[in-house]
Structure formats: C-alpha cells, structure tokens
Amino acid sequence: MTEVAEANRDRSSRRRISGFAAVPVAAFALMALFGWGLLNGGDDLPSALIDKPVPDFSLPPVLGRDEGLSTEDLAGHVSLVNVFASWCVPCRAEHPLFMALSESGEVPLYGINYKDPPEQARAWLDELGDPYTRIGADRDGRAGIEWGVYGVPETYVIAADGTIAYRHVGPITEATLRETLMPIVRDLQSSAVGEVPE
C-alpha cells in the first residue's frame, strides 16, 4: 500500500512539475507572437469606431507649438492621425516614413502625443523632425481612451466626413503605407472630390 501511495505521489509530483514548465513555455510563445506582430507592421485589430465619427476631443498643443488638436481639425478633408510617444521604440522606427509622407504633401498627418512629459515630447520632435500638421498633447491618456487606443503607435485614416475609415495598430512599415494606408486615403480623396455638395 505504501508503494502504491508512493507511486501515486511521484506521478502527481511529475504532473505538477510539467504543469509549471508549461507556464513559461506559454508565456514565451505569447511574447514571441506579440514581437512578431510588432516587427511585421502590427495588425488591423477590430475597432468599434470604424465608420463612426471621430471622438469628441480637444487637446492642448505639444510644448513649443502654438496649436493643439481637436475633433474639428479632422473634418472636411481626408487625413491620417498617428498616436505616438517619445518612449515608444516602434514609434521611432516608423517616424522616417511619416517625415517622407509629410514632405510629399499627399495627405495631412495629425499627431496625438500619448502620455508624454512635455519636455521629452519636444526633444523627440526636435531630434527626429516634426511631420505633423497639428499635434495634441494627450498627457493623461484620456483622448487615447476615447479613441480606443491599445498602445502606441496606432494610426487612423479619417474620411472627409469626420469618420474613422481605418485603424492600424503597431508601427507602419513602407509596405503598409504603400499597400494599405495610401490606397484607402486615395480612394477616400477621390470619393470626397466626386461628392456633390447639398
């Protein structure tokens, strides 16, 4: 009887050990999946705000700028809104693409600076360049909550009627910009030109 009890205890002990081994393996798998998503240009996560009006918000300017950003700034034209932060490594990676886009003048780019100390946001823009038409400082993250931000960076395509047409979570890559965002922007721009005012 003691041999049977001892054998059962050994089996139970092995199951516990293998259960403990599964936790780090699962955690590593999730981290690898998350890292892969970031390195491959993020993902197009669903958003309850697609085809809905931009949230009502009004943000003060980033340190050193005269104008902030509000809901009204996004109406009447197709635009991109990029949520970024100085502490965000993927934001740094995508920034040169936004600088080039800004120089092209093809679409206005607006920024929401997310949970950044004012001096750090200003230093980041001074170092990397400022591609944004206007930037709002979302210091407490409240606007980010209204926009449904999961984390930075996130980029939104805004239609001329002020609705959110598309959302990209994660850093923008050259392929994402060329194959996804800009075709949507161009389609919206041509639709807006073709509309007859009432």
The domains of the chain are located at 1-39, 58-194
Residues of the chain with pLDDT under 50: 25-42, 196-198
pLDDT for the residue numbered 49: 83
- Domain 58-194 superfamily per CATH: Glutaredoxin (3.40.30.10)
pLDDT for the residue numbered 136: 98
pLDDT for the residue numbered 45: 55
pLDDT for the residue numbered 120: 97
pLDDT for the residue numbered 1: 58
pLDDT for the residue numbered 192: 82
Amino acid at 85: A
Cβ proximity of 181 and 166 under 8 Å = yes
Q: How far apart are CA 82 and CA 87, in angstroms?
A: 15
Q: Which two tokens stand for residue 22?
A: 């599964």
pLDDT for the residue numbered 32: 41
Cβ proximity of 172 and 93 under 8 Å = no
pLDDT for the residue numbered 175: 97
Amino acid at 120: Q
pLDDT for the residue numbered 169: 95
Q: Is 93 exposed, middle or buried (0-12, 13-18, 19+ CB in 10 A)?
A: middle
Q: Is 38 exposed, middle or buried (0-12, 13-18, 19+ CB in 10 A)?
A: middle
Q: How many Cβ atoms from other residues are within 10 Å of residue 54's Cβ?
A: 23
